[in-house]
Amino acid sequence: MNPLKKKPRTHSLQNAPEKPDWLKVKLAFPDPKNNPVAIVRNSLEEKKLNTVCESASCPNLNHCWSRKTATYMLGGDICTRRCSYCDVASGKPFPLDPEEPKRIAESSIALGLRHVVITSVNRDDLEDGGAAHFAKTVKEIRKGLPDCKIELLIPDLKVKQEALEIIFGCNPDIFNHNLETVKRLFPEVAPQKRYERSLDVLKIASARGFLTKSGLILGMGETLEEVKECMQDLASVGVSLLTLGQYLQPTSTHLPVKEYVVPQVFKDLRIYGKSIGFKGVFSGPLVRSSYHADEQISWNP
């Protein structure tokens, strides 16, 4: 992995390395009437819900939806921040929909979910960053699915203690906040985020006794040593679960892929992660933060 060189704001797909075979995924459903992907999509459309699966153009959409799992995205589909790798739209968001938490609960019940992942766009326009909206959603889900495991994948909330206390009050089964990349790349990859701020969020949650999780995306210009240093930083603040996956450029206006990391490197990083204290490391080219999230919770003994 070579260090990232400065690029102009407009990027191109033309000079990107060719996508390798291990990133090409196909799923076939012989019976269209019982297509689980269609079942999930219909449920989401009926309830007018957003998912990070669609908004972020996740490569695992068909795979996860075929297992009747999805990651709900709160607060609309417009983010107040603009990260160069992310396909979620940025701009001025609409006011929160007060009925959204209830509709997410209804969708979760209809799909019979046992593990629900809830994330949100950044809502820096709100005093609490949307924390109370998370809390309302968790309350509605637990009302209808008391045995359902709930994972919250939250923004940094600018490390506001009041907002974090609201999240802690939800008592999530997994507290997730993604670091995304190595420290050196933050100014270009996520200019409105701060590396230390994200570590602080995870450190505070770990100190409060929550099962904490974070994720990194590889192939954006980081070096292998930088990845290991980042993993050490995450382990040092008490993160238990870690996901490592390959970055895929959504469009020509996004940060270009610098490298398609070979599967063996992901395997080696999984072994390294276990050696420095992570309870679970889910590492592979197609791994994303909520990929097989229902299985990841079993890593915690």
Q: What is the pLDDT of residue 138?
A: 97
Supply the pLDDT for residue 253.
Answer: 86
Residue ranges per domain, the chain? 32-299
Q: Which two tokens stand for residue 40?
A: 């999930």
pLDDT by residue for the chain (301 residues), tens only, comes to 443 333 333 444 445 678 888 887 665 544 555 666 666 666 666 666 666 555 455 555 555 655 666 688 899 889 999 999 888 889 999 999 999 999 999 988 888 888 889 999 999 999 999 999 999 999 999 999 999 999 999 999 999 999 999 999 999 999 999 999 999 999 999 999 999 999 999 999 999 999 999 999 999 999 999 999 999 999 999 999 999 999 988 888 889 999 999 999 999 999 999 999 999 999 999 888 876 666 666 554 3
In the prediction, which pLDDT does 153 show? Answer: 96
Binding site: residue ranges? 53, 58, 64, 79, 83, 86, 290
SS3 274: helix
Q: Which CATH architecture has domain 32-299?
A: Alpha-Beta Barrel (3.20)
Bridge-based pairing of strands 115-120 and 71-74 is: parallel
- Which strands sit side by side in the sheet containing 149-153, from one edge to the other? 71-74, 115-120, 149-153, 174-176, 212-218, 241-246, 280-283
Q: How far apart are CA 149 and CA 188, in angstroms?
A: 35
In angstroms, the CA 23 to CA 57 distance is 14
Residue 50's closest CA among 107, 130, 91? 107
d(CA 281, CA 160): 29
**Mapping DSSP to helix (H, G, I), strand (E, B) and coil, where does residue 153 land?**
strand
Residues annotated within a binding site for [4Fe-4S] cluster: 53, 58, 64, 79, 83, 86, 290
What pLDDT is stored for residue 4 in this prediction?
36
What gap in Å lies between CA 196 and CA 8, rounded to an integer? 26
pLDDT number for residue 208: 98
Q: Return the amino acid letter for 21.
A: D
Kindly report the number of other CB atoms within 10 A of residue 150's CB atom. Answer: 21
